[in-house]
Amino acid sequence: MDTSTTTSEPAQALRSPRLRVESEAVTAASLAAVGAGLVAIVTIADRTVPLWGGWSAGAVAALSTLVVGIVVAYVAYWRARARPGQEWRRSIRPWKFVLDATTVALVHAFLAAIFTASVFVVLQRSFEGLEVDVIIGTITVGAAAAATGYLVFLSASEITTRRMATLLVAFIALSTLASIAAVEDEHWWEYHFSQLGTSGDFSAWMFNTTLIVGGFFATTFTLYLHRDLDVLVERGILVHRWTPRLFSVAFVVLGIMLAGVGLFPLDVNAALHNGCAAGMAAAFAVMVLGSPYFLAGLPKRFIAMCLATFAVLIGGFLLFSPIGYYNLTAFELVAFAVIFSWITVFIRFIDAIAAPAEIAAPTEIAAPTEAVADPGGR
């Protein structure tokens, strides 16, 4: 038995990239807990505060997780460039890398803050009238920050095309629901979806910020999408060599238009707001309707799904006009859900097809070794 090989395996395991990421995530969680705990001690001091409502333990925790999410995601995304399989990110232009890191950090931070606030709201309603002192307040704030630091570091360190798509949809969905829950106008839905961004309150700020950050995030994962589509072209799956660039441009346009909808609320500039919304719809229509030609070479079931998606959109519009089954807000919600559902399926589908090329390579190399070993064993 080769004892040198056996004794080296534990040492190699302790130096594995995955374990290094876990260790750094624990470090990030510890530092986040200490920093947020100090903030809680200073802000709560010698008084008692509610779990949620006004200046509360929940408010301190939400703000802390927002800051922790941004800082930790930046650090994790930067360090992930050295991980196996992520070396290609070193060739990205500096301004693109900064934009990517910023959008990744903001999405993680907003998700962490929204989730933290939601938990404290539920706790406050579950324990009506409860107030906590500086000790309990510091513990809860520190725990929220530690969980955020750990989970965000792991997520930002393992960014892939599939994870980017999932984060985008989760961010858009949760932030929009939070905006709806916080809106002061109870009858906003009687007008249109964009009404959420016109009230001038916290709900409007959250809704518009969600669209802006979501738009930039959509442009961010075009780097990953372009890379995956290039793999399919190199493997001869996609027919047209220009498909990666076409879809990258289409997603950039869609992201910019989505951000424009938030940058120009309906009550600020209706022309620009509607123009950006129309541009987003046009970019989506080009990708979906052009999929039989642009994505020639992909399985027919995926092409059929693209066409079915557009058919659902048409059906949803007909239910709004001329049938009049529901109002404009309902149709916009349906269209929103359909568009981002298609984006998720599209990204995950491309990622699933591109992934086996990287997994199959070691098996092909190992095959000759088995063939050579066989004669010796007879």
Judge whether residue 183 has pLDDT over 70.
yes
- Mean pLDDT over 157-179 rounds to 83
* Residues 6 or more apart in contact with residue 312 via CB below 8 angstroms: 338
Confirm if 222 and 248 have CB atoms less than 8 A apart.
yes
Judge whether residue 357 has pLDDT over 70.
no
Judge whether residue 358 has pLDDT over 60.
no
Digit-coded pLDDT (tens) for 118-162 = 889 888 888 888 899 999 999 999 999 999 999 999 998 888 778
Digit-coded pLDDT (tens) for 33-53 = 999 999 999 998 888 999 888
Confirm if 97 and 31 have CB atoms less than 8 A apart.
no
Digit-coded pLDDT (tens) for 236-289 = 999 999 999 999 999 999 999 999 999 998 888 888 988 998 899 899 999 999
Output DSSP code: residue 268: T
Judge whether residue 376 has pLDDT over 60.
no
Instruction: Check the CA dihedral 231-237-241-243 and report its sign.
Output: negative
Cα–Cα distance list, 104 to 108, 160, 186, 284 (Å) = 6, 12, 33, 23
Of 163, 164, 176, 68, nearest to 113 by C-alpha is 68
Of 24, 28, 18, nearest to 148 by C-alpha is 28
Judge whether residue 170 has pLDDT over 90.
no
Calculate ∠ Cα 36-39-45, nearest 5°.
Answer: 135
Report pLDDT for 67: 96
Report pLDDT for 359: 42
Least confident of 86-90, 170-174, 200-204, 234-238: 86-90
Report pLDDT for 373: 44
* Residues 6 or more apart in contact with residue 201 via CB below 8 angstroms: 182, 183, 184
- Mean pLDDT over 15-32 rounds to 87
Report pLDDT for 138: 94
Give φ, ψ of 48 to 5 degrees. -105, 145
Average pLDDT over the chain reads 83
> What are the residue ranges of helices labelled H in the chain?
3-14, 17-44, 57-79, 94-126, 134-157, 161-182, 202-220, 222-234, 243-263, 270-289, 291-294, 300-320, 328-377
Can you give the pTM of this predicted structure? 0.76
Q: Which of 30-34, 125-129, 180-184 has the highest mean pLDDT?
A: 30-34
Give φ, ψ of 298 to 5 degrees. -75, 160
Report pLDDT for 144: 95
Judge whether residue 185 has pLDDT over 70.
yes
- Mean pLDDT over 57-83 rounds to 91
Of 47, 39, 171, 45, nearest to 104 by C-alpha is 171
Taking the C-alpha atoms of residue 266 and residue 273, their distance in angstroms, rounded to an integer, is: 6
Confirm if 100 and 218 have CB atoms less than 8 A apart.
no
**Which has the higher per-residue pLDDT, 224 or 358?**
224
Q: If DSSP codes are grouped into helix, strand and coil, which group holds residue 179? A: helix
Digit-coded pLDDT (tens) for 319-355 = 988 888 888 888 888 888 888 889 888 888 888 888 7
